[in-house]
Each structure stands twice: as structure tokens, then as C-alpha cells.
A and B are shown apart, each in its own frame.
Chain A
Amino acid sequence: NAGVTQTPKFQVLKTGQSMTLQCAQDMNHNSMYWYRQDPGMGLRLIYYSASEGTTDKGEVPNGYNVSRLNKREFSLRLESAAPSQTSVYFCASSALGPDDYTFGSGTRLTVV
């Protein structure tokens, strides 16, 4: 099925460990996004990529890096995980803007 695929779906990390969250879309969308969702907070934009080869910071970029590997793939890296990064992470893509966002099903990350 066409859409946005995120891997892994669940992950537990120890403080200080690193990991990369993967995201791929097969809709030929130009723009891709990484959000986090925390209890008591709305979805918050971490980083986005308006087009292949460009990335920009969102509201909460500290502690994260991203790579727009190609048009399909946009990865999010945690270099040294902290408990404050425990969250559900959503990747999204769009062709035109926020009313055609397609979200992945999320990655639930726990940092202990």
C-alpha cells in the first residue's frame, strides 16, 4: 500500500545510546517531516525537509539530526539518547502542504 513507512515501531534505549529512526514514502512527495508527540503536548515539529537535499529545523531540534537520503527517505538520528526524548515519533510527507500530509504509524521510543 502507498504511504509512509516508519521503522522500528517500538524501541527501548539506554541513556547515551544512539539510534536512527527510518522513514520512507512512496508517493513521490517533495516534503518530509519529523514530529514528536508527548503527553500534554501537541505534535511538535523536530525537523523538516522541503525538498531533496534540504533540511531545516522545526520547533524542537535539539538533540536530533536528520538526513534526507533521497526523495523517498528521511531519517532522524539521536546521537546520545536522553530520557526527555521518550516520545512517539511521527514521520510525514506532503506534496503541497499540511492538508495533504500523510503520516506514518509512528515509532514509540522509550529512553531509560
Chain B
Amino acid sequence: DQQVKQNSPSLSVQEGRISILNCDYTNSMFDYFLWYKKYPAEGPTFLISISSIKDKNEDGRFTVFLNKSAKHLSLHIVPSQPGDSAVYFCAAGNAGNNRKLIWGLGTSLAVNP
């Protein structure tokens, strides 16, 4: 039973457009959410996070939105660039026990020139 779900295995967008990656969770105890990015043959790298006391966090071209009532978060990348092509993982945890993250399966983003 997956507690963190990324229902779109892949996404393709044009350079300059917006990329929206979605993530749903089932465990209402999660209060801390993260997005990681992974290139082939490399480990994941941290991208952006959000705690449950916020509904939005922004860092440059990357914005994460959290809808607690819907147990849904999304990552927006604007504008998308070819270098953003990677697998994006959503992860969730409890800030009091943040070593035990639960990860989604990932969404492979392709940004086409």
C-alpha cells in the first residue's frame, strides 16, 4: 500500500512552458514534504521542501504547493529548461521522525527544446 503516490510515470513539456508534477499521500501524520531530482547514474539531489504549516514554497523557478485537505502536493517548474529533464521524486515524513521518509515512485520529466 503506497503512502506516497506519483500517478504519472512520465511527463513531456516544451522548453519555456510550465511543468507540473503531482504527488498524493494517504498518511495524515506526514507534516514535511520534499522533492528530489535524479539524473541517470547519479543519486537524487534535494530540490525543494515544504512543511504542513505552509501551502506554498518558492525557490527560483521551482514552486511547491501543498493542499492538506486533499492530501496533494505539486511541483511547478516555470519556465522549464532542457536541463530539468530528470526523474522527480516526491517524499514525505514526519518532522519529528524525519529520518524515515516515504518516497513516491518518481515522474520522469522530459523538456523538449
Contacts and interface: CB of A to CB of B under 8 A. Distances in A.
Interface of A: 4, 31, 33, 40-45, 48, 50, 58-59, 90, 92, 97-106
Contacts of A50: 99
20 contacts: A4-B43, A33-B99, A42-B89, A42-B102, A42-B105, A42-B106, A43-B91, A59-B100, A97-B95, A97-B99, A98-B34, A98-B93, A98-B98, A99-B34, A100-B46, A103-B42, A103-B44, A104-B43, A105-B41, A105-B43
A98 B101 contact: yes
A97 B33 CA distance: 12
A48 B99 CA distance: 8
A29 B4 CA distance: 27
Given A50-B99, A98-B32, A42 B104 contact: yes
A40 B6 CA distance: 11
